[in-house]
Amino acid sequence: MFDVKTHTEKCVEWIREFFEKNGKDCNAVLGISGGKDSSVAAALCVEALGKDRVIGVLMPNGEQFDISCSYDLVNHLGIKHFAVNIGGAVEALKAAMPDGFDLSVQSLTNLPPRIRMSTVYAISQSCNGRVVNTCNLSEDWVGYSTRYGDSVGDFSPLSKFTVNEVKQIGRYLGLPEHLIEKPPIDGLCGKTDEDNLGFTYAVLDRYIRTGEIDDPAIKAKIDSMHEKNKFKLELMPIFDPEI
């Protein structure tokens, strides 16, 4: 049984301790998608630091059909926020590629989140900030993040919580239900996370926490993704000539 009160309180205290050691009086800066992860991460930081020390960055890529959810979150929490449309930067970089060089589908898919992270860091560095990573355990388990995009940050309050647990924390903190249960869309190719993964977060969360899973094929897929994507969470390998 997940003790949401205890885990939330411990996480809030951990955030306070991080800032005490790594940036007294600094601000928590994070990208706001309007989904559960950025909403809960922002709410935890408000609880830990107060709303005056949390800054949200809204980063639509051109037109974003669900941008209203991002505004709902920052207005609900009462935090300072900036809106930066990254569409022009994405198109400019694509246009700057050499003639005859075609970016792969995967490169095009991961370009916006990498530009978003550059944007968040630019604002953070200009606002005495520390960047909040908003990935959760379920996503990290199967590598469902963009390397040097949403996979990075200066501290990560949610990386040990599954999707289900993140939702419980959101409810405990009083977030609007439509933000907690907003269908998770990758923001890259327009599909839901679960469409892309081929299994539900409920199945994945159960497997992570209990080791139980009903479908052997899905188990094999999750295990394979977990092994192949471990490198995303590890430090970059460094050659040591002394070894």
Q: How far apart are CA 151 and CA 196, in angstroms?
A: 18
CA dihedral 138, 199, 191, 134 (to 10 degrees): 0
Task: Tokens for 188, please give them.
Answer: 């890259």
What pLDDT, on a 0 to 100 scale, did the predictor assign at position 187?
53
Q: Is the pTM of this model over 0.85?
A: yes
The H or E element spanning position 131 is strand 129-131
> Is the CA virtual torsion 88, 93, 99, 105 positive or negative?
negative
d(CA 210, CA 203) in angstroms, rounded, equals: 11
Residues of the chain below pLDDT 50: none
Alpha-carbon distance of 213 to 223, in angstroms, equals 12
Reading the block at residue 87, the tokens are 């569409």
**What is the rounded distance in angstroms from the CA atom of residue 226 to the CA atom of residue 146?**
15
The predicted structure's pLDDT at residue 188: 52
Q: How many CA atoms lie within 13 A of 141 on its CB side?
A: 21
Domains, in order of start, for the chain: 4-233 (3.40.50.620)
Q: What is the pLDDT of residue 190?
A: 63
The interaxial angle of helices 87-95 and 105-126, nearest 10 deg, is 130
